[in-house]
Every structure is written in structure tokens, then in C-alpha cells.
Structure 1
Amino acid sequence: MKVLVTGGSGFIASHCLKTLLARDHTIVTTVRSAEKGEAILAAYPESSKGQLSYVVVPDIAQEGAFDHVVISDPPFDAVLHTASPFHFRFQDSKELLDPAIHGTKGILRAIKDNAPSVKRVVITSSFAAITSTDGHPDVYSESQWNPVTYKEGIEDRSKTYRASKTLAERAAWSFMEEEKPGFSLATLCPPWVFGPPIHVPESQAALNTSNAYFAMLIHGGWKEKLPPTGTWLWVDVRDIALAHVRAMEVPEAGGKRFFITAGHFDMKDVAEIAKMRVPEYADKLPTKLTSDKPNPLYGFDNGRSKEILQLEYLSLETSVVDTLKFLQSHDI
């Protein structure tokens, strides 16, 4: 298949590229600069000529940003839309909200109008689009939606990221219902995403959000107190990448939303694994480790991901150790 992947230099997207290449798909990925694009090509010198290329899209929220991108010869069969900002350094809430919402609607419109060959679109959503801060259900699954509004996302910074993911995904499903395009949609909702990155970041400051926590551990930032867990569910980046590719490949995935999680965890679990498996960091951690899991803690239902996408989730131990070893080996 020929696949368009948006935001190819991102943490999840870079693993999607690796998985797609391993399964012999041909890929074009969008990047914000030629520099990022060349870095991606350099990371895969073994890929056959023409199997991986890039196109520059400086601003995914711009009107018509994807119109020329989706036109290809030979044409695209599928699109993985992963591009959406995830950080807490924004000055204006619209820096997260508008690219997420407008970028999602924009690419779906571009595909419908200009790429009739595309039969499957997969969008990276988030557990943020499922979870609620106003009280949790007994069990979380794909059936729940975060009730957050755009107004709340603008006015309350603690809700901005959740609003960006929720409203972007809602916009995608609304588009499908109203426009009835010639392609089917699948969305994926992961919680915390752990695991080693593909690309070596230039500095600790350039790390993605989750890996920044592991770098803090290495550099003694957990010594006095463990950071708050926040969301007591996680998944490894290699599993969410495989989920994207299988959601693209498996016919039964069309029209479905997937909750992608390996299960419960807290930062105490991460610290215990670090002490046991990477003991050189034991002195970077508190002597006494305490859990911040609430009791009772909400459950989760990831059955659809196992049944339809055939996911077999990596263990937390594997994810934590691989991440710490990567950061250690690159002196980050």
C-alpha cells in the first residue's frame, strides 16, 4: 500500500514509519521543515529508493494545507494522521486547539476532494478524548467521550490539551457522518505513551512529554518525590504504532474507535522497575516509594484492540528498561 503519514518526525509517527517500512509499505510523510525531512531519511538508510519520502507542510492548520499533499502518482491507498501538538509550553490555548481541530478537518476535506483512491484514514486521538475530570466511570472503553467544550479549552489551561484531542476527534466523526466520503475512518485513543524514541533528540529539552519524565529520573528529578502519575493507564509506543498500521490494514477496523492501553501503572511501578533493572539509578530515587493510585481505581476495556487489531501488549518492565537504556546510551 502507499501511505501518507502526517507529522513523521513525531514520537508516535516515527514508530509508525518504522513499522510501515518493515511491512513493505511505501510512505510519504509530512514534516514542518526540510531539515526534519532529511533527518527522517537519514534514520532509514536501508529503505529502498522511493519507499520513503517527505513533503513539507509548515502549518497544518492553514486553509488547504493538505490539498496538494494528498495528490500522488501512484495514488495513496491510506492516510495515517498523527500530526497534532502535545506539550504544555503553549502561551495561547489556540496554539493547541486550532491546529488539532482545523488540521484534522482539513486533511479529511483534502482527501475527499482530491484523493478518491484513499480507502482508510487512521487518526491518532487520545485517552484525553475519553476521560472525564468530573468523575470516572467504573470502566473506561471506547464508548465514553470527554464532555469538554472549546470554551473550556480556551479558558482553562488544564483542559486545553484534552479539548484539542476531543474536539479534533469529534470533528472527524462528524465529517464522516455529514460528508459520507469514499473512505472509512478508524481512531486510536492511547493514554500515557512510553518507550524509546526512534530519533536521538538534540537535547533533554527536545524530548517528547513522556520521555522527559524518564530523563528527569536519570538526572535526579525524582530523588525527593515521585512525580504525580496523573493518568494511571499506559501503552508502549511500539504497540500504538502497530495499532495504527493494523487499523489501516484490517478491513474490520473501519468505522471503529479503539482504546489502546496495556493497563494500569503508577510512577511507583516505574521507579521499582528502575531500581531492580537499572540499579545504577537507585540513588536517584526516594528510599521509600509510595503509590498515588486511588482506591478504587477505574477499570479499562481494551478488548476491541485485542480482538480486531490482534494486539499483544508489551510489559511495563520492557518499556521502562528500553527507554532508560536508550536515554542512557545517548547521554540524554
Structure 2
Amino acid sequence: MSRGTVLITGITGFIATHTALAFLDAGYTVRGTARTAAKADDWISKFPAHKALFQYAVVADMAVPGAFDDAVKGCDFVAHLASPAHWNQNDNETDLLIPAINGTRNLLTATKNEPRIKRVVFTSSLAAIIEPTLEAGKTVVETEWNPVTYNEAKSATNPSVVYRASKALAERTFWDYITAEKSAWAGTAICPCGTFAPPLQPLASLSALNVSTAFLWDMANGTYKAGVPTVGSPVYVDARDVALAHVRAVERDAAQGQRYLLIGGTYIPDQFIDVIHRHFPELRDNLPPVDLSRVGQSSFKYDSTKATRELGIAYTALETMVVDSISSILALRAQIM
């Protein structure tokens, strides 16, 4: 018997796929939103064992008013993961800011159509907490906010600044709605950092990998043989931990009204490369030399223990995360080629 129906927005995405599977494994019925019925059918075709507890709703454009009005009907919980996640926008507003903010507002407004909804989990980001181009030296915790305004993001020329602002402004929309509308449901925000894990979502080619997974794969495939670019925020978390945090957020009373930072640890790219070198000898010719002398010297300070205390998240080790991810990508490459 199902433990309730949870709406997963943007189910075909990287973290959303892991989150949907975590809910399905926990015994929930999952209704996923996708841009087309074909995309939803393609998604569940990868996970036939879960077909009995899977539903879908087509949301072609989440920025359109009323986009989620039908999708929420019959749902007990919502996990809002749909949001633009790229740094290659042509227009800051239309490509990132408006879809992130209006998509969130449209979903929250739609919850008025379904009084059964008890919890809404908003997938935010470390990007909503910090703005590295403006701040440095702080210990990062859940109470911090990226200070970039809409107008600043609208005119920004650095695409990463615009992306980070879109996450912060969308999350502010979430909390402002709860306060202004006195929502009947309780809200929780999950704020993961750079997220890695096996890519389980439908992919036509490796060029369609999400940003963080593509960065990891580029370390393994020779793209960075001459050297890995500097990492802006040198922290990681496993998407499977992020997914579990969503499940726990709807199950635990302590999560009501809370914001959780999810960081598994700091890293330097050399650590990823070292793991690849030791576990995947067939890839060694692609790898740059490594220098592990700087491991543990990161100036990035954070406290992500709240998710451990209140949600029971035991963060996956870096080595496990990298091995599982590269193994999955290699299997996917063999399947696609």
C-alpha cells in the first residue's frame, strides 16, 4: 500500500531522478512532471519495477500561470526540483530568473487546489546561501543568504552569478509565500552544494550530462589532461544523500519550517583524479598528474551537521561517490555507443 502520493517536479532531471527513486523505494506513489508525455514514458521505462507506483503530469512550461494546477490534484506531498540548471543563458531573465521564480510561484499557488497537501519541499542550493564573488571567509550555515538582487542579476555578465541569484530568489519566493499566504502545509528547503552521483536520468548522449557530473567525467576522459580548472566552491555532496533528505523532510516533524545545508565535505580535483587512477586503470592515460599535498587545506568553512542531526543524513564518502559515478558513466557510454 502506498504511503501517499508525492509530486516531483522536473522528474527527468539528475537530482530529481534520484529523489523520485528514493520516494519510490520508500513506498510512496510518485507523480512526476515532465515537459511531454514522451519524456515521462522514457523516464519510467528505465525503472520498470516502479511502474505500478508511478504517475505523470505534463507541464510544458512551468512559468505559465496555472502550469501546476492539475498536477497537484490528489497529491499529499510536493518536492519542487524543477528549475533551470545551466550557465549558458542567452538572456538572464527569460532563461533563468523568470522560470525559476515564476515556476516556484505557480507551483505554490497551485497547492490551493489540493487541501490534502501536508508538506512541500523546495530544492534550493548552496548558491542561495553564498555569493562567492561578494563574500569570503565565513563559516557557511543555513542562516546565510546570497545577497544578489533581481536587478543585479538581470544585468550581470557573469553567468554563474545569475544562476546563483536565480536559486536564492526562487527560495525567497518560497518562504515569502508561506508567510504571506499562511499555507496549510509545512515547508522545508534543501540546499545542496555541488552534487555528484551516478547519472540515472534518461540521457541520449554523454554530452547531455548535468553540469557537475560532466565536470567529473571531463576529469576522466582527457578533457583536463593539461590541468583541471579552479573550483569556485570546493565542496561536494552525493545526490543520493540529497534524495534521502527530501524523503526525510516529509516524514520528520523536526523538518517543518527548516532549511538544510547539505555538504559532504571539501575537495580538490586531484582527489577525484586520484580515485579514478586507482580504480579505473583503463582511464589512466587520460588523467593529469595529481598533487595531494593540499588535501585538507581548504579555506572553505561550513557546518552541515543540522541535516545529520534532524534528518539522519550520513554523508557518502568521496571515494564511494566517485567510483559509483564513473562506473555508471562508463556503463552508460558502452550502452549509448
TM-score (norm 1): 0.94
In structure 2, distance between residues paired with 1:157 and 1:97: 14
Aligned match of 1:179: 181
Letter in 2 for 1:25: Y
Shift of 1:199: 2.8
- Establish whether residue 13 from structure 1 lines up as the match of residue 16 from structure 2: yes
Identity of aligned residues (%): 37
**Structure 1 residues 211-267: Cα deviation after superposition (integer angstroms, max 9, x where no partner):** 111232232101001122221111001110011111111111010000011011121
Aligned match of 2:329: 327
In structure 2, distance between residues paired with 1:144 and 1:318: 30
Aligned match of 1:194: 196
- Does the CA contact (< 8 Å) of 1:268 and 1:291 recur in 2? no
**Structure 1 residues 288-321: Cα deviation after superposition (integer angstroms, max 9, x where no partner):** 4478889661311111100110001110101111
Corresponding residue SS for 2:49: coil
- Establish whether residue 128 from structure 1 lines up as the match of residue 131 from structure 2: no
Letter in 1 for 2:315: Y
Aligned match of 2:87: 88
In structure 2, distance between residues paired with 1:314 and 1:162: 25
- Does the CA contact (< 8 Å) of 2:154 and 2:162 recur in 1? yes
In structure 1, distance between residues paired with 2:298 and 2:46: 44
Letter in 1 for 2:253: P
Letter in 1 for 2:87: F
Aligned match of 2:29: 26
- Does the CA contact (< 8 Å) of 2:187 and 2:258 recur in 1? yes
Aligned match of 2:219: 217
- Does the CA contact (< 8 Å) of 2:46 and 2:202 recur in 1? no
**Structure 1 residues 150-185: Cα deviation after superposition (integer angstroms, max 9, x where no partner):** 112111142110110000001111111111010010
Letter in 1 for 2:96: L
Shift of 1:203: 1.0
- Establish whether residue 4 from structure 1 lines up as the match of residue 3 from structure 2: no
- Does the CA contact (< 8 Å) of 2:220 and 2:287 recur in 1? no
In structure 2, distance between residues paired with 1:310 and 1:249: 12
Aligned match of 1:77: 76
- Does the CA contact (< 8 Å) of 1:234 and 1:264 recur in 2? yes
In structure 1, distance between residues paired with 2:88 and 2:217: 18
Aligned match of 1:99: 99
Structure 1 residues 248, 225: CA separation in 2 closer, same or farther (over 3 Å shift)? same
**Structure 1 residues 101-151: Cα deviation after superposition (integer angstroms, max 9, x where no partner):** 00111111110x211110100010000001122122431110100101111
Shift of 1:89: 2.0
Letter in 2 for 1:34: A
- Does the CA contact (< 8 Å) of 1:232 and 1:293 recur in 2? no
Letter in 2 for 1:302: S
Q: How does 1:135-284 map to 2 (within 5 A)?
A: 135-158=135-158, 159-284=161-286
38-47 or 232-241, which deviates more: 38-47
TM-score (norm 2): 0.93
In structure 1, distance between residues paired with 2:153 and 2:17: 28
Shift of 1:280: 2.3
122-131 or 133-142, which deviates more: 133-142
83-92 or 282-291, which deviates more: 282-291
Letter in 1 for 2:80: H
Aligned match of 1:311: 313
Corresponding residue SS for 1:30: strand
In structure 2, distance between residues paired with 1:24 and 1:130: 32
Unaligned runs of 5+ in 2: none
Aligned match of 2:108: 108
Structure 1 residues 172, 264: CA separation in 2 closer, same or farther (over 3 Å shift)? same
Give the number of equivalent residue pairs.
327
